[in-house]
Amino acid sequence: MRMHSDALIALRNRLVSSGLMQDSRHVLAIEQLGIFMHIIAFDCGDRKCAEIFQHSLETISRYFNSTLKAVTSLASEFHQLSTSSTPFCPKLRKDKRFWPYFKVFFLYIFSQK
């Protein structure tokens, strides 16, 4: 998984300007985001990440979890579930391979409201 450096910096700026992330005494916000991205992109554990970034396991774990909370708090801004009044994606609806499964899923979601 690769991310363009401009996108990474934009994400960092968004998290910092929203107050969801800040530089700490020893770990900058961009490094915190780098730790998070490295773990999710390469599916590596805390030990390997601690070795790469030269921080303790506690530090890696702390900043991974805080960055995870920050990133997931932005989720509502970037994706929405369809409502019964919102039409489904026409491309999805026309695709006979996927629509039967999504139809069941959406019917289940709307019946829970």
* Per-residue confidence in pLDDT tens, the chain, 113 aa: 578 899 999 999 999 999 999 999 999 999 999 999 999 999 889 999 999 999 999 999 999 999 999 999 988 777 666 665 666 677 777 888 888 887 787 777 767 65
Supply the Cα-derived Rg of the chain in whole angstroms.
Answer: 19
Residue 98 is predicted with a pLDDT of 80
The domain spans of the chain are 5-78, 80-113
HSE-up (13 A, CA, CB side) for residue 19: 0
Category of 80 on φ-ψ map: left (φ > 0), alpha (ψ -120 to 50) or beta: beta
Is-above-0.85 flag for pTM? no
